[in-house]
Amino acid sequence: MSTHHIPQQALTRGSDALVELPVTVWPTAQQAPRTQRGTRYIAESTAHPAKMLPAIVRHAIDTFTAPGDLVLDPMCGVGTTLVEAVHKGRDALGIEYENRWANVTEANLTLAALQEATGQGEVHVGDARQVLPDLADRHAGRVGLLMTSPPYGASVHGQVHAPGHRPVRKHDNRYGRDRANLAHRSLPMLLRGFTDILRRALPLLRPGGVVAITTRPFRVDGRLIDFPSLTLDAAINAGLDPVQRCVGLLAGLRDGKLVPRSSFFQLDYVRKLRDRGVPAWVIAHEDILVLRVGLGSGTRSVVERPTVT
């Protein structure tokens, strides 16, 4: 495929000055999500309300790690980061707050072993803010890549059920009912909790270790929330140095044009906003925020060239 240079730069505010971050577009939706997961995940994995795209994880692992490295996801859901890591010969640690999804992660790791994945993975159940200090005692300075995604709220993507001519219903669109789960907290509390998780993960990261966070904007009552920028601020407040802000496409690329892969509910929501006169568009990308620990003068060594490949 041809290469297209992206001239623009993403800007974010550091402690006292604007920091220029080079932009790279990752074409990570060339296949539909179900095709990306293929036979690597048990059927119940699809029930999680906010799954990470496997292609995004694979690209990050290929770009930022080498075989034998240790990969961490402190909010691992059904274990996408862990599964893709062990299939690529990396070892993986995961933490998941809800027992249901931790059990799914365990099953997915067992399946990976049966499929002869060469890496080793393990998942721990609990609040990452409490589990991470214990993991730091065993794995201090070993993690080469932390890859994760914060929740966007209690109700997110979900599945569609449309029996005949009955009204379309959404299911598997909510996290559990535990109010301590960050998904159920207000946006400021969610961001504070996420900052704390990243801060407590720092002792596990090796010098110069990479943190890659996938996050996307969302709408509340029609108002677009720039959650990626808020997430980036949280990561900087945790003590990480920003390196790059990438675009992970949620649409395919065919002959230079985008091929939408939007869900029914995304399309329905945008149509209703437009009926109200709100000039809304379907969200077609995720931000991948790339940061590092202890950069100093070596900031740019991790940056991909700002291109689409």
Note the pLDDT tens digit of each residue in 235-275.
Answer: 999 999 999 999 998 888 888 888 877 777 777 778 888 88
For 169-200, give one letter per residue: b (16+ CB within 10 A) or e. ebeebebeeeeebbbbbeeeebbebbbbbbbb
Measured CA angle at 209 (ends 203, 214), to 5 deg: 100
SS3 content of the chain, % helix, strand, coil (to 5): 35, 30, 40
pLDDT at 175: 52
pLDDT at 29: 83
- Check if the beta carbon of residue 194 is closer than 8 Å to that of residue 233: no
pLDDT (mean) for 42-57? 89
Q: What percent of the chain has pLDDT over 70?
A: 78
Task: Dihedral sign for Cα 250, 242, 96, 176, please.
Answer: negative
- Indicate if the pLDDT at residue 11 is higher than 70: no
Say whether 71 sits in a helix, a strand or coil.
Answer: strand
- Check if the beta carbon of residue 308 is closer than 8 Å to that of residue 6: yes
pLDDT at 297: 38
| Cα atoms in the 13 Å half-sphere on the side-chain side of 165 | 0
DSSP strand pairing (169-171 vs 121-125):
unpaired
pLDDT at 48: 79
pLDDT at 300: 43
**Which residue intervals of 44-186 are DSSP H helices?**
54-64, 80-87, 99-114, 128-139
CATH of 4-308, one of 3.30.43.10, 2.102.10.10, 3.40.50.150, 3.40.630.30: 3.40.50.150
Q: Which of 109, 129, 127 is nearest to 119 (CA)?
A: 109
- Every domain of the chain and the residues it spans: 4-308
DSSP annotation of 204:
G
Name every residue whose Cβ is closer than 8 Å to that of residue 68 and which is 6 or more positions away in sequence.
89, 90, 91
Residue 9 confidence class, pLDDT cut points 50, 70, 90: very low
H or E element in which residue 21 lies: strand 18-22
pLDDT at 305: 46
pLDDT at 168: 57
Cα first-last separation, the chain: 6
DSSP strand pairing (285-292 vs 241-249):
antiparallel
In this predicted model, what pLDDT tens digit does every residue of 117-147 receive, in sequence order?
999 999 999 999 999 999 999 999 999 999 9
In this predicted model, what pLDDT tens digit does every residue of 182-223 receive, in sequence order?
776 788 999 999 999 999 999 999 998 999 999 988 887 778
- pTM comes to 0.81
- Indicate if the pLDDT at residue 17 is higher than 70: no
